[in-house]
Structure formats: C-alpha cells, structure tokens
A = this chain, B = another copy of it.
Amino acid sequence: MSRVSAGDGGAVPRRARRHDPGRRDRLIDAALTVIAERGLAGTTHREIARVADVPLGSTTYHFTSLEELLAEAFNRYAATVARVFDERMAAARDRDAAVEAVITLVSDDLLGSQRDLVLTVELYVAAARNPVLRAVTQEWMARSRQALERHFDADTARGLDALIEGLTLHNALSTEPMTPAQIRDAIRRYLR
C-alpha cells in the first residue's frame, strides 16, 4: 500500500527486478550450466533459478515441469554442437581437409571443453530412460553422420563417428590422455 518516500534512504528494495525479456532463454542456458557443474541429479528448480539469478517461481512459470526445461536445454545443446560439427565438415574442400577437420574436432572437444563432454554423457544417460531425449540424441547422431557423409561413404562415416565418440570419451576420462599425435594417428589409421 504505502510507497517509499523519495527522500528516504530506502533500506530494503522489496521487489527490485522486473521486465526481463529473454529470461526464458537464460533459464535454459542456466540449466545447461547446472547440469555440467552439478550433474542431472543435482539439477533442481532452485539451483537453476540461483544461477540465472531469478526467483524460484519464475522457473515454474516459464516451464510447466522440470522435465520440459531439461529437454529444451539438451535440445539446444545438441543443436549447437551439431551445427559446429556440420560447419567444419562443410568448410572442408576435399577429403584430406575433411580428415584434418575431424582431427581438429576431436582435439578441440577433448582439450577445449570438459563441459561439453560432461553434458554429452549426461544426455546419454538421460536418453536411456527418456524417449524425448532419446529422440534428441538420435537426431544429433543423424546430423553428425550426414556431415561426415559429405566426404566419406556411409559405412566409413558410421564407423568414424563411433571412433570419434570413443576417442573423446576415453580421453576425457583418462588421467593420461592421448597426445594430439596419437589421436591423429588413430583417425588416419581408420581412414587410410
């Protein structure tokens, strides 16, 4: 009812923030951050809200359920990664350049971003039990394979995709990761 008088020092700003367009997007990004940092098990409405710096009620307003929020988050993540993958393969002019692009992709995923690796594995686990997320992974895989098929035949692309997956995963979990040279050799060996 009462308004704070202008001259007052104004102790507690009761309801500060307002008018935050794009908040829905920020919540999705915050969800990905939380998943990467705390794992899916530690991803709660409250933690997401804390990271996005919004009140709890905002999360339930923008998303009807936590599951929906998580699905949107994983969907955004997969789309982002798939786009990068596709762009690099599209930029390769010939097969040799494509081989180098693959090597770069693996090396960047490994050395560049522990976050992406964690998100990927979290998605795999979740997809094992959630049909919506399984669809996300399948579309992702299809796009990856399609990108590889710009330069390699279908069977080669299929196996190469698996090799990329294994190299990434193995090295992220290992205390003694393969050297870039070893990664390069493994890929070239399969593609020779």
Chain A positions near chain B (C-beta within 8 angstroms): 39-41, 117-118, 121-122, 124-125, 127-129, 134, 137-138, 141, 155, 158-159, 161-167, 169-171, 173-175, 178, 182, 185-186, 189-190
Contacts and interface: CB of A to CB of B under 8 A. Distances in A.
How many copies of this chain does the complex contain?
Answer: 2
Contacts of A122: 125
User: What's the dominant secondary structure at chain A's contact region?
Assistant: helix
A155 B190 CA distance: 13
Closest 8 CB pairs of A and B: A166-B166, A159-B186, A162-B166, A165-B166, A162-B170, A41-B41, A162-B167, A190-B190
B129 A173 contact: no
A190 B189 CA distance: 6
